[in-house]
A and B are shown apart, each in its own frame.
Chain A
Amino acid sequence: MITLFLRCKTNRQLSALLLLCLLLGSSLSISAQTTTPTTGLRDNAPTYHALTNARIVTAPGKEIPKGVILLKAGIIKAVGEKIEIPADARVWDYSGRTIYPGLIESYSHLGIAKPDPKAEKGPEHTLAHWNPFVLAARNVLENFQPKEKDISALRAKGYTSALVVPRQGIFRGSSALVSLGKTIGKAQIINPEAAQHISFRKGISQSGYPNSLMGSIALIRQILLDAQWYQSAQAAYRQNPTQPAPAADEALLALQGVINNKIPVIFEVATENNLLRALTIAREFNLSINVKGSGREYFHIAALPHPQLNTLILPTDFPDKLALDTPESSLDLSLLQLQHWEQAPTNPAKIAAAGVPFALTKPDFAKELPRAKTAGLTEKDALAALTTTPAKMLGVDNILGSIAVGKRAHLLVSDKGLFEKGREILDVWVDGERFQIKDQTALDVSGKWQASLNFPNASHSLALSFSGKAAKTKGKIVRDSLEIPLKNFSNTLNQIRFSTSGDSLGHPGTVGLSATVIDGKMTGIGDLPDGQTFTWTATWEAAPEAAEKEEHSEEEKVDKTPGNYMGIGAYFQRGTPEQPAGVLVKNATIWTSGPQGTLENADIHIVKGKIAAVGQSLSGGKNDLVIDAAGKHITPGLIDAHSHAAVDGSVNEGGQAVSAEVRIRDVIDQFDIAMYRQLAGGLTVINILHGSANPIGGQNAVLKLRWGADAEGLLLKEAPEGIKFALGENVKQSNWGDNFTTRYPQTRMGVQQIIRDRFKAAREYQDHWTKFSSQKKKRGVIPPRRDLELEALLEILNGERFIHCHSYRQDEILMLVRVAEEFGFRIATFQHVLEGYKVADELATHNFGASTFSDWWAYKFEVFDAIPHNGALMHHAGVNVSFNSDSNELSRRMNTEAAKAVKYGGVSPADALKFVTINPAQQLGIDQHTGSLEVGKDADFAIWNGPPLSTYSSCEQTWIEGRKYFDIADDREMQAAVIAERARIIEKYRKTATSGGKGKMPAKRAKIHHSHHWHDDDE
């Protein structure tokens, strides 16, 4: 049945089919028409049903206390309190039941096999885009093979339709909305092209571009640009077919509906930060998107609602287990994990409060929804999240989501409120067809019965007592003071069956009994342990005693006390520390790294975050905060010109040798604890670079360590744009093994040529645009395609983008110097540049900066000539030198790194300190704002308890823009607060936890550890 969709390769065909389905769906008077010929007899079973006497929740928050629903041919004909029941309708008495709209599963992979992790190649399809992960033209129905048991399992939970979502790719293709009828065929496809799916993850572990989060983002951005270009290129070609035709591309064609906001887009994100990244892309392309979230949206509640965000699809797999068996195991749970155990159930309520429409996917009504309810989720919102909201998101709210005339007859029948404890779904109606979920022939036998057992040699008169109902009935024999429990109870088709112990009835062993129950009388038979049979009867006597109060309900057990701890994870406080109007730090030794040199017993005055004065005996404003720093030393905030901190995902996009289009800025992780630890070492600015896998890597980002700010707020906006280049062993893949010997380049000769080639391409790219822009008549002219990679390179040639080039050997350093001369660009820094001392004259002549390690060497062959005097030698030759870390650990100790320039090569202490202050500021083009303590600059500084170059000194305070971001005394308090908060949550868990072995642990935040292999690091 599905093959038809397989053959619908083009969009136009699919659209036509979609239209047809919608038309069929809305036809009221006749049964669904089909083009499939009948075999055998036609099956025209009556399709008219009247569902009566039920409480009807027609839509979230709307109900009819007792009413009727009329269905015909799968469509709701009428709904209301007083509806005349037609003679030809089959009547279903749903007295005491509640009818709801059928639930919509808004994100499933029903019938879609998991990708084979061992698959050699990426997912194949004949319409392949050049990138195997751009599968926009694919329709999920091509691979749709649902199993009957999976469909009925969904129905049993009350779902009557489900969105079937493809699993793989960055652009994953179209999902389909299907009805969960008995077999899934054409008639059950509600919308074969429900939404286009985009993900940052390929969904299959495959090498190839992209292989990083930032690469995925760059690819998505380029593909959407390509889709826009495709639209105008095709239009221009149609106007003037006498020019070379733009190549047909099915993926770009399929994306036309996306860029024009004609089909819903669902972005799947796996982390809290990726929600914001998806919305940023949507803003750039003016898309209205839906997001399948991570369950941690509450991290970013301040960013919601968002103009680009239509609907959130929220997972509800709240963690319910913490490995806290021993004191040792609790150590390995982060505070974030503990907090997520507590906070995850608050996610839906918080999203609701933020006013963002949301759907819930795969909620567990027994375990998870009650936790969400306790956390404030209303039943109305929960029902909407399973009915009207997904219907609206998918543009099918005219046919699904509520009980209204003309809509498809998708209903669920429950024995009580859908969100009540212990409720059971009895029936589900899909397109007018009834599916029985629970046997409803069980009788309510609860109460006291007077029974007479006619054993072969004696009759026993005794009382039977039943409680509970249907399959959950329990019972016991009461005889005098003796109570004998009944076992193996069954209750169906007016029959009850059970067994009991015959020990006290004179027949040791098991006695089996059954009876037919009619109008308060049981008439039954039984057998005894010895094989003899007997008859028995019982008559109803009294209603059950009031049920014992159940033990504490789930809600009561949950401790609702929130913690005092306001942070997200340890040491993280969202927001901006207070900025005093004025700050006067007095009596310190001030290392200005500026023209004033080092001042003893001096003061620094700060007004509104800027340095107002540095000198002796300053006086501040009346209300200034005064800090007595007698005996302390003050330096500018330290700057690390080579960092990989605060990055989500890989720092390398290794899928291509040239990746100028990827941007670190896209993947900044505002929660990376590395930033706080670096603040504790007096660091205030980091230059986050792409890795060194490619000759032309990605774009860097310069951050001020404004810990607590969001990604945008961390950016040092005044910093010029930059890019990472790399030379030598890493880009040649020298240390990657035998499988990495074919990517160009494999030699330093090739490195030179690929860089030259790309710069030439960038020049030609500019020529194409210049030519196009100069044409007066643009109508009918195919425009050049925007190329993000070449645009970044062009910015270098135009002096708008700084190069930071990873390099070691003198020959490769000289090579890039010559390429720079050839193309007329400047190199802001050679990074590492461990043989810079051999060509210091060249660097000095060109005024190219050198950002080096203080003393690393011998970890690779190309660094066997590295010497710790490198920095000093270059410095003495007139090169601007900085020391960097390339390490989250080392960047906490940049002050003592500077001391190595004193030890090796005799640089003065004040000049050595500049290696980690004003020199890197100049290299990054931010020295107008930071890097030295000069009037007018940002008040970025650190207070030390001793001379800053001494190994015995430690940082006591770190200030950025006149705000205190680190204070060793506050840190001690926070340490205590972190421990207390951990203890509070652990205690709460121990009180409430019910499950032992099974359960879901809160995941660790995915964090790739960017440690370089030559660091001292055990992990």
Chain B
Amino acid sequence: MNKRTYILQFLAIYWVLIAFSLQASNQVPAPPQDHPIALTGGTIYTVSGETIENGTILFEDGKITAIGTTVDLPEGTEVIDISGKRVYPSLIDANTVLGLVEVASVRATRDYSETGDITPEAHAGTAFNPDSELLPVTRANGIALAMSVPTGGLISGTSALMMLDGWTWEEMALKTPAGLHVRWPSMVPPKKPSKETPRYLKNIEKIKTTFAQARAYAAAAKNASEQSTHESSARWEAMIPVVEGKIPVFVHANSIRQIQAAVSWAAAEKLKMILVGGYDAWRVTDLLKTYDIPVIITGTHKLPRRRWEAYNTPFSLPKKLHDAGVKFCIGGSGFAFSTAHTRNLPYHAATAAAHGLPAMEALKAVTLYPAEIIGAAERVGSLESGKDATLIVTNGDPLEIMTQIESVYIQGRKIDVSSRHTDLYEKYQEKYRQKNIPQQESE
């Protein structure tokens, strides 16, 4: 038995959490920006435009107001010299369960998967824990924006694009609901030929039925009269923005059969589809281009699924999509057990670069492209006047592990980059100071 299924199976148990020390994180949300701030002297990676050496970026009331080598600073501007440093837009993880889980093996901390196959009413924002210890750890590495996505079932619910600092989830939400998430059924043909309809066909039928019913419900709601024959339903209510095309449908699918089936379904339903996963996407790039379907690659640090495939198949997927002209970004795996490691997102992009993706494309794959695919590019994803001042200051390339993220701004608010990790680090450095244990220096 696969170890994960094994663990999940047995995790359906109670957990005694009385002694659970999971309370609020120590980090205090920053107040709104109340005066103009200019970062000067650094290299500004706008991502969407040119990279500006020795430039200035000015932001007021949470918005970028000017970028350039000569910028007029309004009165009262706090000028911060960042000579030798770099400025980037915040990185964005387009596929996580951040806020919906604390310790994945502890059931009481899991809020990402509602029971049932069809749960469009489940919304990630509702259960997003602003005090999760995972958020300070994530943003401290330059990921100040993350899409929190429910999992499970066939239609999991709706996601929320979150800013990773704030007092309540509502304050933190940047785009909500961001989209509806469909988990395409695994399409492995049954081992033994059977007269029964394979399970995956039944499940695909379920998805189709859901959309048909949602359309009927939406139509009825629109033409509501006194004699309306429908009673209300939370489920179909949640589907209205989907069938009206107001929010996109994120279809999670990896194998070639799943992708083909999902694309043909979405085209028939005339839905705006975004493919999430896309392990085999490079084998069907023409299909994806024809139907204008972008791909959220769910990380590159994966093993090839097939023994015979090249060792770097997942590493080189972004390059292949780039070469074929398919729109893509790189996000997280979206699994509960890897949520705590969301901070490693930039290194997935770097691995893609090590295997052929141009370095600037790798950077865009975790900044501008996720913003565009999620539909938040007018606010975030690049450094441009008018966009949110959600950005990071670093001492190097954020896609390099050894780079330090020195400060993080969300809508102009300077964010505390300490975390449970730095707190414990300091605490135990103090232990050894108290005990006069010398700390050896590196060579």
Counting CB contacts under 8 A, is A869 at the interface? yes
Residues of B within 8 A of A653 (CB): none
Which B residues from 286 to 324 make CB contacts under 8 A with A? 298-299, 301-308, 310-312
- Chain A interface: which of B62-70, B160-168, B337-345, B384-392? B337-345
Report the minimum CB–CB distance from B362 to chain A (whole Å). 9
What 14 additional pairs, Cβ within 8 angstroms, besides A892-B311, A911-B443?
A328-B257, A736-B10, A740-B10, A841-B435, A844-B437, A860-B103, A867-B424, A873-B429, A905-B425, A907-B442, A910-B442, A1011-B3, A1017-B333, A1018-B279
A328/B425 in contact, CB under 8 A: no
* A859-B303 contact, Cβ under 8 Å, with A950-B400, A1011-B4: no
Among A890, A903, A908, A909, max chain B CB count under 10 A is at A903
Counting CB contacts under 8 A, is B404 at the interface? yes
Residues of B within 8 A of A906 (CB): 442
Residues of B within 8 A of A618 (CB): none
Counting CB contacts under 8 A, is A900 at the interface? yes
Question: How far, in whole Å, are A971 and B304 apart by their CA atoms in the complex?
Answer: 15
Counting CB contacts under 8 A, is A668 at the interface? no
B13/A867 in contact, CB under 8 A: no
* A971-B337 contact, Cβ under 8 Å, with A735-B7, A735-B11, A1011-B4: no
Closest-by-CB residue of B relative to A845 is B437
How many residues of A are in contact with the other chain, CB < 8 A? Answer: 87
* A949-B401 contact, Cβ under 8 Å, with A736-B10, A971-B311: yes
A899/B439 in contact, CB under 8 A: no
* A677-B189 contact, Cβ under 8 Å, with A841-B435, A902-B401, A903-B402: no
Counting CB contacts under 8 A, is B228 at the interface? no
Of the candidates A328, A864, A899, A905, the one whose C-beta lies within 8 Å of that of B401 is A899
In the A-B complex, the 3 residue pairs with the closest CB atoms: A737-B10, A951-B350, A908-B442
- Chain A interface: which of B48-56, B110-118, B351-359, B408-416? B351-359
A903/B401 in contact, CB under 8 A: yes
Counting CB contacts under 8 A, is B9 at the interface? yes
A331/B306 in contact, CB under 8 A: yes
Among B302, B343, B354, B355, max chain A CB count under 10 A is at B354
A859/B337 in contact, CB under 8 A: yes
Among B9, B283, B425, max chain A CB count under 10 A is at B425
Residues of A within 8 A of B193 (CB): 997
Report the minimum CB–CB distance from A102 to chain B (whole Å). 35
Report the minimum CB–CB distance from A528 to chain B (whole Å). 42
Residues of B within 8 A of A861 (CB): 20, 103, 105-106
Question: How far, in whole Å, are A907 and B254 apart by their CA atoms in the complex?
Answer: 39
Residues of B within 8 A of A859 (CB): 103-105, 337, 340
A1014/B440 in contact, CB under 8 A: no
Of the candidates A677, A738, A841, the one whose C-beta lies within 8 Å of that of B311 is A677
Question: How far, in whole Å, are A951 and B350 apart by their CA atoms in the complex?
Answer: 6
Counting CB contacts under 8 A, is B268 at the interface? no
Offer 22 A-B interface pairs, CB within 8 angstroms, sorted by A: A571-B311, A737-B9, A737-B12, A841-B437, A844-B437, A857-B340, A859-B104, A864-B133, A873-B429, A905-B425, A910-B442, A951-B399, A952-B399, A971-B311, A1009-B3, A1011-B4, A1012-B3, A1014-B337, A1015-B337, A1016-B335, A1018-B254, A1019-B2
Report the minimum CB–CB distance from A342 to chain B (whole Å). 15
Question: How far, in whole Å, are A982 and B308 apart by their CA atoms in the complex?
Answer: 9
Report the minimum CB–CB distance from A889 to chain B (whole Å). 5
Question: How far, in whole Å, are A349 and B22 apart by their CA atoms in the complex?
Answer: 66
Which A residues from 484 to 504 make CB contacts under 8 A with B? none
- Chain B interface: which of A282-290, A444-452, A799-807, A874-882? A874-882
A837/B428 in contact, CB under 8 A: yes
Residues of B within 8 A of A953 (CB): 354
Q: Mark B168-193, 1 if CB is under 8 A from A, else 0.
A: 00000000000000000000010001
B344/A855 in contact, CB under 8 A: yes
Q: DSSP class of B's interface residues: helix, strand, loop or mixed?
A: loop
Which residues of B approach A to under 8 Å, CB–CB? 2-4, 7-13, 20-22, 102-106, 133-134, 189, 193, 254-257, 260, 277, 279-280, 283, 298-299, 301-308, 310-312, 332-333, 335, 337-341, 343-344, 347, 350-351, 353-355, 359, 399-404, 420-421, 424-425, 428-429, 431-432, 435, 437, 439-443
Counting CB contacts under 8 A, is A923 at the interface? no
Among A869, A899, A907, A952, max chain B CB count under 10 A is at A952
Closest-by-CB residue of B relative to A974 is B310
Residues of B within 8 A of A84 (CB): none
Question: How far, in whole Å, are A957 and B420 apart by their CA atoms in the complex?
Answer: 40
Residues of B within 8 A of A323 (CB): 189
Counting CB contacts under 8 A, is A519 at the interface? no
Q: DSSP class of A's interface residues: helix, strand, loop or mixed?
A: loop
Q: Mark A557-591, 1 if CB is under 8 A from B, else 0.
A: 00000000000011100000000000000000000
B425/A952 in contact, CB under 8 A: no
B437/A877 in contact, CB under 8 A: yes
Counting CB contacts under 8 A, is A868 at the interface? yes
Question: How far, in whole Å, are A735 and B359 apart by their CA atoms in the complex?
Answer: 42
B307/A569 in contact, CB under 8 A: yes
* A858-B134 contact, Cβ under 8 Å, with A907-B442, A911-B443, A997-B193: yes
Closest-by-CB residue of A relative to B309 is A570
- Chain B interface: which of A161-169, A214-222, A272-280, A332-340? A332-340
Report the minimum CB–CB distance from A276 to chain B (whole Å). 21
Counting CB contacts under 8 A, is A15 at the interface? no
Counting CB contacts under 8 A, is A840 at the interface? yes
Of the candidates B283, B303, B421, the one whose C-beta lies within 8 Å of that of A1017 is B303
Counting CB contacts under 8 A, is A888 at the interface? yes
Which A residues from 829 to 874 make CB contacts under 8 A with B? 837-838, 840-841, 844, 855-861, 864-865, 867-869, 873
Counting CB contacts under 8 A, is A525 at the interface? no
Closest-by-CB residue of A relative to B307 is A334
Residues of A within 8 A of B280 (CB): 331
Report the minimum CB–CB distance from A141 to chain B (whole Å). 33
* A676-B442 contact, Cβ under 8 Å, with A949-B401, A1014-B337: no
Question: How far, in whole Å, are A893 and B300 apart by their CA atoms in the complex?
Answer: 12
A954/B354 in contact, CB under 8 A: yes
Question: How far, in whole Å, are A1013 and B311 apart by their CA atoms in the complex?
Answer: 22
Question: How far, in whole Å, are A637 and B122 apart by their CA atoms in the complex?
Answer: 49
Counting CB contacts under 8 A, is A597 at the interface? yes
Question: How far, in whole Å, are A920 and B341 apart by their CA atoms in the complex?
Answer: 24
